[in-house]
Amino acid sequence: MPNDALTAQLLEWIGERPRAYVEAMEAWRTSCPRLSIWEDALSRGLIERVGSSKLSDALVQVTSAGKTHLRSATSIRA
pTM for the whole structure: 0.80
SS3 36: coil
The answer to whether the beta carbons of residues 22 and 54 sit under 8 Å apart is no
**Distance (Å, rounded) from C-alpha 35 to C-alpha 11?**
15
pLDDT for residue 4 = 82
Per-residue pLDDT tens over the stretch 3-44: 788 889 999 999 988 899 989 888 887 766 666 888 889 999
Q: Regarding the domain delimited by 4-77, which CATH topology (the fold level of the hierarchy) does it fall under?
A: Arc Repressor Mutant, subunit A (1.10.10)
- Give domain limits for the chain: 4-77
Tell me the average pLDDT across 55-60.
89
